[in-house]
Each structure stands twice: as structure tokens, then as C-alpha cells.
Structure 1
């Protein structure tokens, strides 16, 4: 990343970072208060953010894909899933004000608009500022390509109402559906790995670029918000474009075969994007659900192959449903074997999660594998960091309840959880969530 842009011109392409004329990174100053009332989120110019990309050249001469920060929808939802994740949940500090929250979102948006283009968080960056002051950028991404970095912001239920306290004057604009997720059978949630006022999802094809993004956004938040919990992820467990191959999870099975894809506009409108008839600040956004799912790796590794396939409902080699065909063949839940029993077990994961058996409910998945070392018993602390986007939290709740009898539950534990509303994308020169404060 570099600090080559000093003062951006008045008009730049939608994918370029830009601050309002005469405004610094520190708060996108001039947009607070009355100025913010005139801002609108989600312009038509960013409609292609899901798949639009361009080349970016770094000081080292390497090239990489960049995705626009500004646009109709936030990047990091339908964007082709990258290989690495750094997810962080934040709580606003005590005694912070509405103005503090606005300035934080402005600062974060400006820094994100630069980092996603392969730039330092400000013009002075890691080495261009005064020698006797801390640098504006931590510097570990200097010389690295943008690596397809996307940064996605979300607002949690407690941002609007925290134990009956309306800290930021937002309680009246809280969507009725933005509630903490209900308890599910088998939950073993750790409060220290759950919830949060705000969340940031940073995805990139270079893990250091993703970590750099969260590190700098956390530094910028100092005094206003602090990390509640975070999670590193690697090896995507889904795909969002037909060109991507179906990845495997840590159980060794292909995952996300039937995921919603970026070019399926009908499915996105029906299942992912919040409808335009919702309050303006919500329209074009989505609900993000994150679940940290610990896998009991050692137990699974001792299960015979035929039993593993029965539990999942798919062939481990090719990912085909056990009813026959290839990976993309629709499962036939009525097909039976020579013994008269269904070829796809009634408690298999594939059957219980399938839209045909859940009133057509679908979600867009963007999960990642994780390994957090080992526990005190010498076992791998590993699993799936599940992330999904949906038009309504009810979609996730429906599917999770359907999985209450999943045979795979013997080998997993849900240990972390959270839900956030991801606002629509920001218009050029504005910031994520601006319409909420209009």
C-alpha cells in the first residue's frame, strides 16, 4: 500500500477514495450535524459493486484486484469471496456521544475507501508525517497489493438500545427485526465471543492486508470504540461466483455448492437485499449473522467414511448428493436404496438445510475456516466461522431451527454469535450509515 494520493481531485471514479473538498481523514469534518442531513446512501452509480473490479499498482510494481468502496451496496457481500478474513466486533466506549459515533463512521469510511484501493489510511501514511508524531498508518502493508480487500460495516442491536439506554438517539430507528438471535438447541455461547455494537468484516487474498485493515480501523477508533472480540479466518467455505470452485471445510467436505451467486439478481432481491419499501437508511442493506462453530476435529477424524457421508448427505470425493449425479445435481430426498431406506438420511445436513424443505428459504454464505491453536487438552481449537447475509434474520432462524436434529451436531458446538444490520453502501464523499443520522 502507498500514500501516493495527497489531495484527491473534486471528481473521481466511483472506485476511488475521496474526501469532501478541504476535509481531512479525522472525521470527514464538515459532514457532522446539519451537513449530514443532506447525505443519501446508495447511489445508482455503484450498482456494479458486486462484481466490478480494476487493477491497482503498488509501489513494488505488483498488481492486484481492487473493489470499489462506494456504491449501491457495501462490498464484501456479493464480491467474489477472498481467501482470508479478519472479523472484529466493537463496543462504543462509555460516555461517547452521537457526534462521536458519526465522526467514527466518517473516519472509518474514509480510511476504508483508501485501504481498499491499496493506499495508506491517509496522505501522510506510515512514513510521510512528522518524525516526532505517531504515523497515521501502522505500515505493515507498505508495498503490498490491495489483494481484493473489502471492508464491510454493520450495526448491532445494542447500538440502538443497550439495556434500555438510548445512548445515541437511535432507538426510534431500530428495525423491529434487529434483535439478538434466540437461543438454539445445543448453543454453548461465550458472551466474550458474541454480540457487539458495531462489526467490521475485512476480507482479502493476503492475510496481512486484512489484518492491517482491522488494526488501523481499531487504532482510529481509539477513545470512541474498542474491540469486543475478533476472529481470523482462512480458506473460504463458500463461493459467490460461478467461476470460483467449491471449497472444502475442515471436515473435508465441499461446502457452499448451492450458495446464492452474485449474478443471480432475482435471488439477491428476494433473499439478500432489504427491500426498497423499508426505511431509507435500511433499503439496499442486509442482515449479517456470524456464528463461531467449533468442530470436534479429533472425534470426526475417527468416524468411518460411510458414516461421514451419511451425516453430510454428500459424497466426500466429488460433493455429489448421495441420491446420485454430480456436485450440482439437485438432491432427490425420495430416492431409496436396495434396503428401502432413503439414500439421503433424514437427519443429514444437506436434507435439513435444503430450501425445498424450508419453504424456499435461502441465505448467502461467506464463511471461513479457523484454527486458534489448541486447547488445554491438546486438541485443535478449530472450526467454521460462519457468516451469512440475508434480507431478514427470520431466514437464518428458520434454517438454524431446522438443523436442531442434524446428525452433525454431535461433532460441532456453536460458541460465538452475533447479528448486525449492514447498511447500504455509501455515496462518494459520504460515509457508511449517513442516512441513519439524517
Structure 2
């Protein structure tokens, strides 16, 4: 008999019947019974709009440095932001695959094409490194907020930062974003990577002078090792994907930027014309930060949903049971093995789970087979290659139409595509070909 936290599995399933399909790796939609109206949900949160605006201002101060250090950002004056596109062709394909009509407009937020590191992690990871750099310089009277931050590209500043080490545990993209920006500033960087991390990401980091420590176990072990290594060194700084408020705040700024993009496109968002946002979820920091920011900016007019692999539904299990980071998918016998390396997380962030409890509308799961098919469908429909993690958002609208009370032609669906533009061409092609195989299989829907 399987015992989980002192309770037989049969009792868990009686108490939480939705665990049944989850434990069978069956794609599933869970509607969050704890979601509250926006005013009540936000009133006791540890972060507020003023914190988001402070983060946005910090990124603006760093824009001259970003523009000088990364010429590809010059056209946007050093602001790291992604395009917003319509996705009518992929919408039509999803309707065909699922047999489900999706009322409303259909957009894709291409964080897959964010400058510098090509994933949503360019928001939170880069922000926290920049904040740490600013804090160090201010503490040593080497920088004031009125300075031109582009001077940080000078050798003097690189020499100063070289005394310090930044560490992080990652399944891939967070380590990539933190490694790339930290090395550019001059920091020593150590990225602890789990077995799930793709080899090309490790190779890219090493090519930038980053030390990569590989672990044969999963994400949680990589984080634990990074945290442990930083504990006894005052000049080491550990970026904690599970608990960092700075990381979280970097993601929230996306909501402020999205509002501006919507205004430029004249996309209306209101309680009568709600916005549904679909966010791939691993440990929870990226999607949690974006969803929190969206709730602050758009209020009750926005509905947020997380997408997880059927093999690694850590946030779903944590929120459903109310145990958050006290429970792992492995405790229930799930293997946490998925091609979606960015989402291959067994234990969710307790900080993010508790923040999202009253804010999140639902969570759904996607199989690896569905992901590969969606990679091929997306490439054929829109000419865009996404990572397996990033296509999970595409299944969301069908789930919501099937399970929520009402979706109309006035609604807007926004798929948050979290990564993929930096995937090497040969790997892109291999993933596409695998997707074609599943595309021709009528059982993969």
C-alpha cells in the first residue's frame, strides 16, 4: 500500500478525486476553488503596485547599459521586451485538433524572442542580477541613480564585479539568463543544472565563461546545491528561484509593458471583455510573477491559467492539496520526466503557490506527445519554433472553453510563449520531425 505523508493513497484520492487522472498522466483541467475577487485577493499580498513600479524604474535606469552591452537592444533603447502577435492560423489548427471552437481573439506573447537569452527568464533572472549589481555599487559609493548606467560596460566595473560570485540552480533557461547577464557584467558565475537541462544550454553557458555544475538528479537538488555553496561566502549571492521576491518582481513588469502594447493595438480588456492568459509553469516564479502583475494591472478583467506537463504537475498537486512545497509529485509516484526541461520540477515554490491561491483561475496539464505535435503545428502555422515547455500554453483556450462557464467572441486569449528562439537549428529540426510523427497520429489530440 502506498503511503503519502502518513496517509494511504486511497484516502488521498477519496479526499481529492481529481488526483485520479493526474496520477494516470492523463491531460486534465483543474478549476481553482480558492480564487477570489481581485480586491480581496490582493489586499494582504506581500507585494503591491508600488513594488512593480520600482522594478520598472530600475530596468529603465539600466536601459543605457543594456543598449550598449547588447547592440540588438539598441532599437528598443535597452528595454528588454517581446513582440505581441495574432495567432489566427494556430488557433484554427487547435480548433481542428480538439474539435472545440474557441470564441474570441487569439494572441501570442513571444517571450521566446526576448533579447539576450530568448526566454521569459530574461525578465526575472536578468532583473535580479541587475538589482544586485546596483546594490553593490551603491554600497561602495560607485553609483548613484542619476548616473548614466552605460558606464558599467567599462573595465573598472568588470574588475569590481569579478570579486563576487552569483549562483543559481536551474533546469535550463533561468541559468541561461542569469549566466549570460552576470558574465557580461563581470561576475563569476556558477550555474547548478539538473539532469533535465538540455546539453546545448550547458554548452552555451560554458562558451560565455560560466561554470556549469551538473547534477544527475532533478531541479530541487540543483537548487539545494547552489544554495549550500553560497551560504558560507559573503561575496557569493544565490538567486533562489523557489523563494526570491526580486525574481518575482522582474516578471511582474511584463504586465505594465503588456498594457501599453494592448493600448497601441486597441485591444480592449474589461470585465465584459475578459483577457484569458495561459502561462507555462515549472517551479512557479515566472508565471506567478506575470500573473500577479496582470491581476494588479487588469483586475478582475484578467483570468490566469497555468500549464504543466502531465509528468511534472507540481503546482497543481501543491495547490490542490494545499500543501504547496511540502509535497512533491514524486511523493505520489509521478516520475517528473518530461521533454519540457523548463517545467521539469517536482516540488513547487511555496511562496508563489500561496500568493496565487486566491488569484489563479485554474491549472491544466499537457502530455509530451501533445507538446511535440504543437511544436510542428506552430512551426507550420506561424513559422515560429518554440521549445516543448513554451507550447503548453496553446492547449489552454480549449480547456477553458470546455470547463469555464462562458467564453464569448468579445474575449481575448493570450498564449505566453516562454522560450525557443535560441534552440540550435539541428535540435529545432529534430523536435519538428518528432512533432510531425505525432501530428499524423490521430490519438494525439
The answer to whether TM tops 0.5 is no
Structure with greater Cα Rg: 1
Instruction: Name the structure where helix makes up a greater proportion of residues.
Output: 2
TM-score normalised to structure 2 length: 0.25
